[in-house]
Structure 1
Amino acid sequence: MAQARRKPSRFRLPRRTRSHWQAPRARTLFTRPAASPRRVLLQRLLLVAGLCALAFLVLYLDRDGLYDANRKALGIIDLMYFTMVTVATVGYGDIVPITARARLIDAFFIVPIRIVIWFVFLGTAYQFVIQRVIEEFRMKRLQKQLLDHVVVCGYGLSGSVAVRELLESGFDPESIVVIDPQQPALEAATALGVAGLLGDPSREDLLQQAKVRLAKAVIISVTDDATAILLTLTVRSIAPDTKIVVRIQEQTFQRQLRQAGADVIVSSTKIGGLLLADAVESNHIVPFVNDLLSARGRVTLLERPAAEHEIGCWSNALAGAVVIGLVRDGRMLSFYEEPPCLVEAGDLLMVIQSSRQPQE
């Protein structure tokens, strides 16, 4: 009785023993500053001015501990002069600290201010000069290698899954470019070894840098459907022949996306709802579909040209594969509407193929 009452175990397909792909190192090939350069420079200039004013105030309060060989008393101009030459590490030696307190102030207060100011100057020079030169060089080298690559616009939940699935299916990490406006998301993407562009994916200059015209496909996985339509229009205007795959949430935008130039439209809301409904009456369909669509699944859903050894065979009798659809001269021949037919050269097959058996 206990065994009769036991619920049937959930259907699970065994996985391949292949280990997960791991990137050798994290890298970001090209980044843009989040704030405008003028604003960053203004903030840093105000910081340096504030530190110099603080150093001047401390030296003014302890001006009796300073000695000038030419004057008995130090005025405001003398203290401003001494502050600037001290912070700039020039040190002409005409004004020197003579008391123990003045020397301690110079050692433990002025010197740290001097170090901070120099770090600000060096960081600004690196960010706006050296780093830009390095990034431009790396970007030009990357652009020379971009051909038949995949551009992923948006690295959210769907975009990250798409990138990992591309890597699992055998795509070279250097042939994937991710564009995202969020620095943490881009860092997570480049940690997989792919190239990254930090910025709004709807900007035409970033799409030009990603060379969408030469791309194999562009995956648009942004959070807003209206932005997806705008991005589709922008990509299509730049790359008339590139395949565009768009993820949307609302079914009502499919017509607009078709008019904008989208080749494939994936409705995550509809697909998720269908799987949820199927799971009510079944225990095996959802795990099987997930396994079927995953590159690491035991079975794989493929769209591929007919192999040479398959030409002349019946579509329902291919070894190691189940043909569910056949495209011939632009016409779909599905197994549930058309009788089995002989496979011809140039046919495009949609098959469910076991990854356990090697292809002959």
Structure 2
Amino acid sequence: MARPVRHRGVAPSLRRNTAPSWAALVWRVLLVAGLIGIALAGHWIERDGLRDNIDGSISVVDVIYFTMITITTVGYGDIVPVTDGARLFDTFVVTPIRLFVWLIFLGSAYQFLLRGVLEKWKMRSIQRNLSAHTVVAGFGTSGEEAVSELIRRGADPQTIVVIDPRAEATAAAEAAGAVVIEGDATRNVTLEAVRANQASSILVSAGRDDTSILIVLTARRIAPDVPISVVIRSEDNEVLARQAGANTVINPASFAGLLLAGSRHGPHIADYLADLANAGGRVSLTERTVTADEIGQPLSAIRTGLGLRIYRGTEPYGYWDPQAASLMAGDVIVEVERRC
């Protein structure tokens, strides 16, 4: 059995902060106000330990002035602490407050100014390399297994883009090596950000049928020609998913039922089906377009594997059908190949 390929390194990400920016700004303002309040109260209590070199008296305005100047700078020397208590308060309380305030100022400047510029530049840089990639909308159980299977089959993790609104899900996808975007795949702007219209395929597994179908609708509008596969858990919703634009609808419960029913007629049937679907199996089920040298030959004569079915347009024909006796240009062959 082939061993899975492991990819190492840090994956790029296109993250979007879903928390409102004003909430973070308000929290920082309140924190700074609280720190200044502590320093102001301490200086007022120790006002007798301060000396004003201008008029010799310390007023409320002097305390406010000295506090703000001391927190934002090292002071101008017009008001100075002269007692041990005042100096110790400035040393062990005001100086750490000054450092915290400056860190908050710098962090706010980064988050609200520099970070936005850097993330836009980073997003454009990543988007330039997004072409013929695979978009995975939803990184739950099915989405995670799909990404793992794609990587085991040799796909470059950085050609896989995972969209999920949950931070823990995008973190797991990023750890697997995929490009991630923390956002809502039902929105046009999110699918446009990952260039869904230039993808080779879109895989949808949002965990809820209504969300998955809405993602399919949005994706089909953004990418009218890209193949879309979707996981649907209710049989009643399979038709809706196809009407929304999905090319392939997968029902995990139905597939599990097929395996169970197959095992009743023989212990090796379910094992063979799982072997076909697994990248580590001895055989693989593949799909390809007929080659020029195969035109006119029967499906049974192909040399790349065991031909099972052809698709001529939208019509499927089995190897027993007369249409499979002579392959035509444009036919799509479904075959079983020996895995190397």
TM-score, length of structure 1 as denominator length = 0.86
Q: Does 1:300 align with 2:292?
A: no
Paired with 1:78 and 1:244, the residues of 2 have a C-alpha distance of: 69
Instruction: Classify 1:34/1:346 alpha carbon distance in 2 versus 1 (closer, same or farther; 3 Å).
Output: closer
Quote the offset at 1:339 in angstroms. Answer: 8.7
Match of 2:5 in 1: 20
Q: CA RMSD, aligned part only?
A: 2.3
Letter in 1 for 2:10: R
Q: Does 1:146 align with 2:130?
A: yes
Paired with 2:336 and 2:8, the residues of 1 have a C-alpha distance of: 30
Instruction: Classify 1:279/1:112 alpha carbon distance in 2 versus 1 (closer, same or farther; 3 Å).
Output: farther
Instruction: Classify 1:264/1:68 alpha carbon distance in 2 versus 1 (closer, same or farther; 3 Å).
Output: same
Paired with 2:255 and 2:313, the residues of 1 have a C-alpha distance of: 29
Match of 1:289 among 263, 270, 273: 273
Paired with 1:325 and 1:266, the residues of 2 have a C-alpha distance of: 19
Q: Does 1:231 align with 2:211?
A: no
Match of 1:54 in 2: 38
Per the alignment, in what secondary structure is the counterpart of residue 213 of structure 2?
helix
Instruction: Classify 1:347/1:104 alpha carbon distance in 2 versus 1 (closer, same or farther; 3 Å).
Output: same
Identity of aligned residues (%): 38
Paired with 1:49 and 1:181, the residues of 2 have a C-alpha distance of: 33
Which ranges of structure 1 fall in alignment gaps of 5 or more residues? 1-14
Per the alignment, in what secondary structure is the counterpart of residue 325 of structure 2?
coil
Map 1:242-281 to 2 at 5 A.
242-279=226-263
Match of 1:209 in 2: 193
Per the alignment, in what secondary structure is the counterpart of residue 299 of structure 2?
coil
Match of 1:353 among 312, 337, 340: 337
Letter in 2 for 1:116: F
Is the Cα contact below 8 Å between 1:291 and 1:300 reproduced in 2?
Answer: yes
Instruction: Classify 1:72/1:249 alpha carbon distance in 2 versus 1 (closer, same or farther; 3 Å).
Output: same
Paired with 2:263 and 2:90, the residues of 1 have a C-alpha distance of: 74
Match of 1:75 among 59, 62, 67: 59
Instruction: Classify 1:223/1:19 alpha carbon distance in 2 versus 1 (closer, same or farther; 3 Å).
Output: closer
Match of 2:306 in 1: 322
Quote the offset at 1:305 in angstroms. Answer: 2.2
Paired with 1:336 and 1:99, the residues of 2 have a C-alpha distance of: 102
Quote the offset at 1:265 in angstroms. Answer: 0.8
State the Cα deviation string for residues 15-52 of structure 1 (Å, max 9, x = none): 11x45231322332x22223111121111111111111
State the Cα deviation string for residues 296-323 of structure 1 (Å, max 9, x = none): 3221110112345655654335446221
The alignment of Structure 1 onto Structure 2 pairs a total of residues equal to: 340
Is the Cα contact below 8 Å between 2:212 and 2:232 reproduced in 1?
Answer: yes
Map 1:112-131 to 2 at 5 A.
112-131=96-115
Instruction: Classify 1:76/1:192 alpha carbon distance in 2 versus 1 (closer, same or farther; 3 Å).
Output: same
Instruction: Classify 1:106/1:31 alpha carbon distance in 2 versus 1 (closer, same or farther; 3 Å).
Output: same
Which ranges of structure 2 fall in alignment gaps of 5 or more residues? none
Is the Cα contact below 8 Å between 1:59 and 1:79 reproduced in 2?
Answer: yes
Match of 2:162 among 153, 178, 194: 178
Is the Cα contact below 8 Å between 2:49 and 2:85 reproduced in 1?
Answer: yes
TM-score, length of structure 2 as denominator length = 0.91
State the Cα deviation string for residues 59-113 of structure 1 (Å, max 9, x = none): 2222222222224442222111111111112411112222222222222211221
Paired with 1:140 and 1:339, the residues of 2 have a C-alpha distance of: 49
